[in-house]
Amino acid sequence: MSRLGRGAFIVFIVLRYGLDELVLSSFQKPWIRLLARILSVGRDLRSPRAVRLREALERLGPIFVKFGQVLSTRRDLLPLDIAEELAKLQDRVPPFSSDIAVDTIERAFHKPVDTIFESFERQPVASASIAQVHFATLRSKTGELREVAVKVLRPGMLPVIQKDLSLMRMMAGWVENLSADGKRLKPREVVAEFDKYLNDELDLVREASNAAQLRRNMEGLDLVLIPEMIWDYCHNEVLVMERMHGVPISHVDRLREAGVDIPKLARDGVTLFFTQVFRDGFFHADMHPGNIQVSLDPESFGRYISLDFGIVGTLTEYDKEYLAQNFTAFFRRDYKRVAELHIESGWVPPDTRVDELESAIRAVCEPYFDRPLKEISLGMVLMRLFQTSRRFQVEIQPQLVLLQKTLLNIEGLGRQLDPELDLWSTAKPFLEKWMLDQIGPKKLWEELKAQAPHYAKLLPQLPRLLHDYLKQPRQGDAKQLDQLLAEQRRTNRLLQTLIYAGLGFVVSLLVLQVGMHLQLIY
């Protein structure tokens, strides 16, 4: 019944704000536009369409707001008025009462706000679907004052999210059972992934730990600043962190006037994303402009400032290696290898013909190489990719849905910063270097160091184990000694062979690495 009630409420909001009319009026056929006008009779739809869409998404709750945030980054897919209005969903969702925020803080830390903070700004500086942020000055135990940002969870979020997820699970079941593509699209697994990430976002202690991990990972990269978490004041409903000073990345004109190298900023964003994904397997997965600023401080001028770490993505070593091989083959236009990788991974049926899949991938990708982002129609690319995936029964990978969403954010951000950005040429050197690191002597040495404690624990036990084994022939079977000596001689020969093979393998890797470096140079 709760699912039916939520579904009825969604339909009511769609009709209340005229979203049905908005969709129908976007078609070019006269009879469809006439139908839209007929359906709008008796409803007050005088507000601009973009405002109605934004207000409807706000009324429908956090999942719909997040959908609007993703769309707001894709001005290449939406009319400009809608994209600009949806951008307000990034940090300008109507705030909840500051009295509720204060009550939440005091309940979390069992202290009056005035005893925790020297000052607390009751007017929130930013408000989004899950939480809102207030600036404050924290009084430390030593009496030192520190500027902080206080993030407070929006009340009543869990029941709304659970209702929406329940409805999505029901609809996923329908798609899986009724659609010809149901099994391939794996809608239940996709919804389960969103369920996990959205519930994680409601725990601000988890967000603080995500931020701390990203801060450690990014040390020494000199591309991004991540706020320090104040652990004495971290609670699942309240998060206190270092206050960051920066300019929102969407204010491109202001950044350009301040002297920021915008094309370099766009390239740094691509490098930052691929570093988090392929080097660390741990990436910021909510990178819309409301969560990204740029520092104008002289000591960190032109660096990114990342905020809001409620949603992060993780990749296994297998996923990282598989994706890196795909990207590298794609950037080299080795479509046959891309096709082989899809078959090897089980993403397509094993009886798929490599040459046919290779030809289909080439037809989708080749027209878009060596072009700046402004000349690439993502809508056309997605349509052709979807057609290809249906033809070859490509299975959706639920564990990569969050990565795909983040890629949409990154490309949309790149379009806003530098339409001339060549995404492929920017990412190719990074991925090729990463692949060299994965197969080179450095990786081999790291693996040996990682296994060293295990071997160090095992080696001292070998003499005792050998002694115990040698004692066995005295108990009646002398032939075992001869067998043991023969086995020892065979083992010695095997060890020699392995040592020589290992040395040959290292030499081969060194030769391969030098060859690949020469290839990159020339």
- State residue 511's pLDDT score: 46
CB 339 within 8 A of CB 354: yes
Whether the pLDDT of residue 324 is over 80: the answer is no
Average pLDDT over residues 365-394: 70
- Give the H or E element holding residue 345: helix 335-345
- State residue 319's pLDDT score: 81
pTM, whole model, 2 decimals? 0.73
Q: What is the domain partition of the chain in residue ranges?
A: 2-90, 158-198, 247-439, 450-521
Distance CA 310, CA 424 (A): 29
Q: Which amino acid is at 75?
A: R
- Distance from the first to the final alpha carbon of the chain: 66
Choosing from 91, 164, 268, 286, the catalytic residue is: 286
Question: Which tens digit of pLDDT belongs to each residue from 3-21?
Answer: 777 778 888 888 888 777 7
Question: Which tens digit of pLDDT belongs to each residue from 71-125?
Answer: 777 666 678 788 888 888 877 788 999 999 999 999 999 999 999 999 999 999 9
Tokens of 355: 């040459």
3-state secondary structure labels for all residues of 497-508: HHHHHHHHHHHH
pLDDT band at 32 (very low <50, low <70, confident <90, very high): low
- State residue 385's pLDDT score: 66
Question: Which tens digit of pLDDT belongs to each residue from 118-161?
Answer: 999 999 998 888 899 999 999 877 778 999 999 999 998 888 88
Active site residue 20: no
Distance CA 326, CA 386 (A): 18
